[in-house]
Amino acid sequence: MWVVASILAPLAMILLSTHDPYVIFGCCAVASACAVWMLYSFVTGQRQLRLAWLLASSILIGYCLGTCTVQFNAMNRGMSPMGFLSVSPSSVAYALVLVLVSCMLLLFLGAIEKPLVRKSDIIDFNWRHERFLWAALGLILLAYIHGDMTLNGTVVSDTRISVLGGIAGPLSSIVAPLAFLGVIRCSGVVRIRAALITLCGLVVTIPQGRRPFIYALLLMGIVGSSMAGRRVRLSGVQKAALAAAGAVLVSVVSLFFIGLRIASYQIGADADHSITSVVRVANRTSFKTLNDTATALDENMQERPGGLITYLAQLTRGGDTPAPLLGKDLALGMELAVPQVFYRLEGSDKTEVASLGGEESLANESVGLPSDVDSANSLLSAGAVDFGVPGALIYPALWTIFVLVLIAVARSFLPRSVMPVLLIAILNQFLLAENPIGGYISDLRSIAMLGIIWALVYYIPIVRLQRNVVPSGYETDVTPAINRG
């Protein structure tokens, strides 16, 4: 990764010296190519996986590839490269410098970080995993039916905190990758069941948006290359065919999701927005007019990828950042992550905290933006809000260090069988370039609760007595039974 760092450094110097829109486009294209190569090396197993490197690639894709895409769309329509960006070129260039420097810090951190997946994490897909996945699918389906999960994920409002959605949301991101581990490791009927769970796991991510679906596919590749204990070798033609099939699948899913989103707009703000209601309306409207839906998808992709760089540029304003809030954004994220039951124990209500809003309610007024606008939040924007430019540079690295410490603690007392579950959930989180700091903390809380519940169930005597019983179709490893999960 030193090669990538040596490329990003001169790009940052170029962006500091010139604000030409076409130069910005070229620098973003080069940085995007580096990020795609990094991600490709993780998916194919050519590089040992490190959290800092994965987060660096995600940030570069979110910011640089997003900016490059928006600029290309503008030029394709005969406009200036900045046509779809509502900020000045100088502000965009400065924000991109912060992105590149932050990613270089992550690359340096990754160089001293130990590989994330150890030999002890390469375990068999056992009956506990399969039962867990069937139960997870049941919870996710229940959350959709009950209305706790709908388009774009968990339902959260000023008057409602969804406990079921808070549990089912993180589960939906790990079902397909963990089940894919069973497809690789198992045989016979168990492999067929694992393939069915994988398919169901992909389907339940579709209402949450295009990105969760893409992340699930990427995680399947990462799991297959780093956690399955065996290398699946593909020829160049097979890789190209697989990539083409994935692109077609993502396109179809994107069209389906936009159809659902159009239907949700047609329902109205005060109507029932459960997934069943949205699908029912879509069957009568948007799914029957695919040409209009495809046009809506094209329009959605014109400007949306530039949301991350636009908001960061608005916050940093070319270096003229407003007075930092000294950790208020982080504190609000921590308060939102506290379960509702603890608020009730103190005689208060979590909806009072939720009604305060998010990062936008804290920062937008200071930069002349309306506080009720939904902006593209990230670790960098949270750092910029809390501590200005230094915060934007170091927040991603600090978050990575914090998670690595938690993983080390988890390894010391959790059974081996739970580590793949936790690692997949953490990997999914580190693929998210666009996520508020409160979202990262809440996801980590859910991951920790998942690990604790698994450990408690694992140590129940009646379950523990069955640990050496291996049903047909599950492949066993050669480690002593006392060390297995």
Would you put residue 349 in left (φ > 0), alpha (ψ -120 to 50) or beta?
beta
Q: Indicate the pairing of strand 149-150 with strand 153-154.
A: antiparallel
What is the rounded CA–CA span in Å between residue 253 and residue 138? Answer: 22
The reply to whether 79 and 149 lie within a common domain is: no
Residue 413 located in a structural domain: no
Does one domain contain both 135 and 259? yes
The whole-number pLDDT of residue 196 equals 92
Q: Is residue 398 part of a domain?
A: no
The answer to whether position 409 is within a domain reads no
pLDDT at residue 479 is higher than 50: no
Is the model's pLDDT at 211 over the cut of 60? Answer: yes
Host domain of residue 311: 1-115+307-320
Most confidently predicted of 138-152, 185-199, 438-452: 185-199
In a domain, 171, yes or no: yes
The conformation of residue 435, written as its DSSP 8-state character, comes to: -
Residues 158, 95 share a domain: no
Return the number of other C-beta atoms located less than 10 Å from residue 8's C-beta. Answer: 24
Average pLDDT of the chain to the nearest whole number: 78
pLDDT tens sequence across 108-154: 999 898 888 777 666 667 777 788 888 888 888 888 887 777 776 65
Has residue 366 been placed in a domain?
no
Residue 160 and residue 205 in one domain: yes
Same domain for 19 and 125? no
Q: What is the pLDDT of residues 16-71, one digit of tens each?
A: 888 888 888 899 999 999 999 998 888 887 778 899 999 999 999 999 998 888 88
Q: Judge if 35 and 169 occupy the same domain.
A: no
pLDDT at 55: 94
For residue 150, being part of any structural domain is answered with yes
Q: What is the pLDDT of residue 481?
A: 33
Q: Is the pLDDT of residue 285 over 70?
A: no
The answer to whether residue 95 is domain-embedded is yes
- 278-302 residues labelled b (16+ CB within 10 A) or e (exposed): beebbeebbbeeeeebeebbeeeeb
Mean pLDDT of 210-220: 86
Structurally, the chain folds into a number of domains equal to 2
Whether 149 and 297 map to the same domain: the answer is: yes
pTM: 0.84
Would you place residue 241 in the very low, low, confident or very high pLDDT band (cuts 50, 70, 90)? confident
Residue 472 — pLDDT band, cuts 50, 70, 90?
low
CA–CA dist 314, 87 (Å, integer): 7
Residues 11 and 129 in one domain: no
66 and 134 share a domain?
A: no
The dihedral formed by the CA atoms of 303, 308, 312 and 313, expressed in degrees to the nearest 10 = -30
Give the model confidence (pLDDT) of 324-375 as tens digits: 878 888 888 888 777 776 766 666 766 666 666 677 777 777 767 766 677 7
pLDDT in the model for residue 371: 67
Question: Alpha carbon of 297 to those of 246, 301, 383: distances in Å?
Answer: 18, 6, 32
> Which of 304, 339, 355 marks a domain boundary?
304
Domain assignment of residue 380, yes or no: no
